[in-house]
Amino acid sequence: MNLWQAVVMGVVEGLTEYLPVSSTGHLILAQRAMGIANSDAANAYAVVIQGGAIVAVAVLYFQRLKQMAAGVLGQSAQGRKLAINLFVALLPLLVIVFLEKAIKHHLFGLWPVTAAWVVGGVAILAVSWWRRGKPSREGKGLDQLTPMLALVIGLSQCIAVWPGTSRSLVTIVAGVLVGLSLPAAVEFSFILGMVTLLGATGKDALEYRHVMLEAYGPLPIAVGFVLAFISAIIAVKWMVGYLNKHGLSLFGYYRVAVGVVVGVLLLMNVLEN
């Protein structure tokens, strides 16, 4: 991997990680378009540069993380409640650890991603139709989230192990469906995603560090990480402002359009699965 490819990967990761369009799907598409073949090093690189996006959310939501830390220390009842809900939402992911290798073997290709793009896009449009005419802030605030509702959101996150589905998509939609306002669902999705990605990034960084360093060297990894951080800051700030005014439908149309285009290119053998 050369530096310009690392630049593209970092920007794609940061811009798509927290948008409901699937960062994994876009990274696989970017890799294939640039001639980077499917391999342990390529898959691990796509996961490890997520660290930049994790740091971006930690910076943007520092006050909320500080509140949860105070809650764990017994200094904030609201922070303790949110920390408990976050812990409950993470529990279903323990099952996924045992399925990871099978998932990577069978689903890390453009055909599964394309199908997930279209299905996810239709799901977004269905939720947008259901919420049409309702203010984005209508619904429960984050302080009204209960452990049971948090568990439902956590269970939905398991669907996102299918590349192309989008972790942000399923957790935001699940949050809205259990009664959260759109801003509250987005915030909980971002914080949940930050912790989830931290585990996945750390695991792959440790397990595949020698493979990545041998294949790419340290500089492309550092470049991808830094650019993922910068572009994630931009994407998250834009998304929060956009959703408060316009809702989710744009992302639904985008996903369906990308899925159709990539599907046609695969059928024409322009792209390889």
pLDDT of residue 108: 61
pLDDT tens for 12-63 read 999 998 888 888 788 888 888 898 887 888 888 888 898 999 999 999 999 9
pLDDT of residue 72: 92
What is the average per-residue pLDDT within 194-202?
82
- Helix locations, 131-181, DSSP H: 147-157, 167-177
Q: How far is Cα 69 from Cα 66, in angstroms, rounded to an integer?
A: 5
Checking if the pLDDT of 102 tops 60, the result is no
Q: How far is Cα 220 from Cα 176, in angstroms, rounded to an integer?
A: 38
Terminal Cα-to-Cα distance of the chain (whole angstroms): 19
Return the minimum-mean-pLDDT range out of 40-49, 105-114, 257-266: 105-114
Instruction: Identify the three-state secondary structure at position 180.
Output: strand
Confidence of residue 183 (pLDDT cuts 50, 70, 90): confident
pLDDT of residue 268: 87
* Residue 45 burial (10 A CB sphere; 0-12, 13-18, 19+): buried
pTM: 0.81
